[in-house]
Amino acid sequence: MKTVTAKFRLYWPLVKGLQTGLLLATGIAGCMSAHTRPDALVLLMLAGSLFLSISGSTVLNMWWDRDIDARMRRTQKRPTTDGSVTPNEVLRLGLALSVLGVGWAVAVDALFGLVVFAGLFFDVVVYSIWLKRRTCWGIVWGGVSGAMPILAGRVLAVGQIEIIGLLLAAAVLFWIPTHTLTFSIKFQGDYNAAGVPTFPSTYGLETTRAMIALSSIIAASSIGVAGVMIGVQAGILRLLVVLSMGLLLLSFATIFRPSEQVNFSLFKYASLYMLASMILLSI
Amino acid sequence: MKMTSTDRILILLTALLSGYQIVVGIDGLGTVPITAYTIAFGALLVAMLLMLILGFGVLDSPVVVIVSTVIPLALALGLAWEHLASYRILYLLFTLVGFAAIIVTRSLPFRGKLPTFVLAVVHGIAGLTIFLLPSILAADGTMKPGFALVGLGGAMIGLGGLLLSFLKAGRPILPRETILKVLPGLFMLMTACFVAGFKLG
């Protein structure tokens, strides 16, 4: 038992609990947004398969990026870089979680499984392995993979890929740059040291801030339109508008009154915004 | 000054109460009151979220004066529109002109006491409206007695606004530490009074 606990403690940081939790929340919200009262077993299978596949792709990313993680101060203490786990062990864990997660998802529903697999494929192969070190536009594909859990949840509930599912996916897709670009501004030095191209290093801070504002507008609009199409109550729609206004104001503040504080606020607020929006769309 | 866990809980409760009020507390009202109350409680909600993220440091931002104006102005407009039918347009004009005046006097480099005067007049009228109107309506039986709680909330928002304004002006009534210690509790009580007042009234 002690060994299992020790292993769990060792592996847990590889899963990035907060990030995985937030993506999992989008998946559950996608399913709940259909308001079809899915039974507890369906929700459990959705959560289990998504958790495993998101964790699997995160672990595989860490395995692939261990060399650049070692060069960035922010990531130097990850288990993959401080030597507490061997690369082979991380690879095996990542593959095992991914196969289990995608396999479980396919067993639940073929189309749901395909969307879950697409998320994993875009994240690991297209984003991390192919594009991350070549172009700053790789984050778009990272965003596409991040949008897959909510689409998968919606697909599981309604049985098809439809406009509301795509709008919800677009909301997450365009929310991700708000999150990652503020992050890349904050840790610009780290990314430069590791040789990873970012928007700030390629296009400068002003363009990056404009991109953040633009993506926030699109994300907030997509959530709003999806909310209307889902038919959420007027009160919930009001709250969504209020939270979206907060996101937009902070995004514009990054353009017109840029500062470390505004950047940090936007980064944190964007996460809160996404979590709150997901809960509201599920009610 | 560092935020304690109790401060965080109180601020989170204030944010949740504001969210609750936006979602269910103002249903069934007219378009203008709903919009006004949504703006008021929305500004309070976003302000509380930012305070949770940034701590009390957010109070040093110049935007605080504007946010602390939006909340009472929008609340007062909602109340006046609902309960003072013959003054609706006048109050709407006061709200728009007052808000514009505060933005102008805070954005441009005005000399003398004009910015403080504008702030005092706008806050004073809005604060008195929120305090007196619900209290009178509850006292004369037009509304249920519980509606007086909105007036109590108005008194607290006035107190909070006063403490913040003098703190921002560099002439705090109480030491900064005391104000920051009191503020989260005051925000929570104020919002609880508004929510309960609207529910019971």
Please report, as a single letter, which amino acid is at residue A242: V
Using CB atoms and an 8 Å cut-off, which of residues 34-73 of chain B contact chain A? 34, 38, 41-42, 45-46, 49-50, 53-54, 57
The answer to whether the CB atoms of B23 and A264 lie below 8 A apart is: no
Q: Is some CB atom of chain A closer than 8 A to the CB atom of B9?
A: no
CB spacing of B54 vs A249 below 8 angstroms: no
Give the mean model confidence (pLDDT) for residues A146-160: 96
pLDDT of B139 reads 95
Angle between the N-to-C axes of helices A163-186 and A260-282, in degrees from 0 to 180, rounded to the nearest 10: 160
Judge: B46–A239 Cβ closer than 8 Å, yes or no.
no
Q: Tell me the two tokens of residue B165.
A: 């304004």
Helix axes B114-139, B88-107, angle to 10 degrees: 150
> SS3 for chain B, per residue?
CCCCHHHHHHHHHHHHHHHHHHHHHCCCCCHHHHHHHHHHHHHHHHHHHHHHHHHHHHHHCCHHHHHHHHHHHHHHHHHHHHHCHHHHHHHHHHHHHHHHHHHHHHHCCCCCCHHHHHHHHHHHHHHHHHHHHHHHHHHCCCCCHHHHHHHHHHHHHHHHHHHHHHHHCCCCCCCHHHHHHHHHHHHHHHHHHHHHHHHHC
pLDDT band per the 50, 70, 90 thresholds, residue A277: very high
Largest CA distance in chain B: 48
Per-residue pLDDT tens for A36-87? 877 899 999 999 999 999 999 999 999 999 999 999 988 888 989 888 899 9
Name residues whose C-beta falls within 8 Å of residue B79's C-beta, 6 or more positions apart in sequence. Answer: B33, B129, B130, B133, B134, B150
What is the predicted ipTM? 0.90
Contacts 24+ apart (CB under 8 A), B2-6: B2/B55, B3/B55, B3/B56, B3/B184, B6/B184
Q: Kindly state the average pLDDT of the residues A139-143.
A: 92
How far apart are the C-alpha atoms of A126 and A137, rounded to whole Å?
11
Residue from A280, A256, A282, A253 nearest A267 by CA: A253
Instruction: Give the C-alpha separation, B132 to B152, whole Å.
Output: 9
CA distance, residue A247 to nearest chain B CA (Å): 9
Decide: pTM greater than 0.95.
no
Residue B140 has pLDDT above 90, yes or no: yes
The yes-or-no verdict on residue B179 having pLDDT over 90 is no
Nearest to A68, CA basis, from A138, A159, A19: A138
> Hey, are the CB atoms on A272 and B49 less than 8 Å from each other?
yes
Q: Any idea which residue has 């007042």 for tokens?
A: B197
Give DSSP secondary structure letters for A14-74: HH-HHHHHHHHHHHHHHHHTT-S---HHHHHHHHHHHHHHHHHHHHHHHHHTHHHHHHSGG
For A135, which DSSP code?
-
| Contact yes or no for A235 and B50 at CB 8 A | no
Grouping H, G, I as helix, E, B as strand and the rest as coil, residue A114 is: helix
Amino acid at A268: K
Whether B38 sits inside 8 A of A243 (CB atoms) is: no
Report, in angstroms and rounded to the nearest whole number, the Rg of chain A calculated over CA atoms. 19
| Of B23, B54, B57, Cβ closest to residue A238 | B23
Which chain A residues are closer than 8 Å to B41 by Cβ? Answer: 242
Instruction: Identify all chain B residues contacting A265, using CB atoms and an 8 Å cutoff.
Output: 50, 53-54
- State mean pLDDT over B10-29: 94
CA B16: distance to chain centroid?
16
User: Measured between CB atoms, does B124 come within 8 Å of chain A?
Assistant: no
Do A261 and B57 count as a contact with CB atoms less than 8 A apart? yes
Q: Which of A219, A117, A122, A205 is nearest to A177 (CA)?
A: A219
Name the percent of chain B lying above pLDDT 70: 100
Which chain A residues contact residue B78 at CB under 8 A?
none
Residue B31 has a CB neighbour count (10 Å cut-off) of 8
Query: Which of A104-118, A171-185, A187-201, B57-71 has the highest average model confidence (pLDDT)?
Result: A104-118
Rg (alpha carbons) of chain B, rounded to whole number: 16
Mean pLDDT, residues B2-24:
95
Confidence class of residue A33 from pLDDT cuts 50, 70 and 90? Answer: very high
Nearest CA in chain B to A262: B54
Residue A130 burial (C-beta neighbours within 10 Å; 0-12, 13-18, 19+): middle
Average pLDDT over residues A219-229: 94
Which of B24, B46, B57 is the closest to A242 by Cβ?
Answer: B46
Interface A–B counts its CB contacts (< 8 A) at: 48
Are B54 and A264 within 8 A, CB to CB? Answer: yes
CA B134, B138, B143, B148 torsion: positive or negative? positive
Inter-chain residue contact A238 with B19, CB threshold 8 Å:
no
Query: What's the rounded Cα separation, in Å, for the pair A175 and A267?
Result: 11
Q: How far apart are the first and last CA of chain A?
A: 40
**Of residues B23, B45, B49, nearest to A236 (C-beta):** B23
Dist CA A186 CA B124 (whole Å): 42
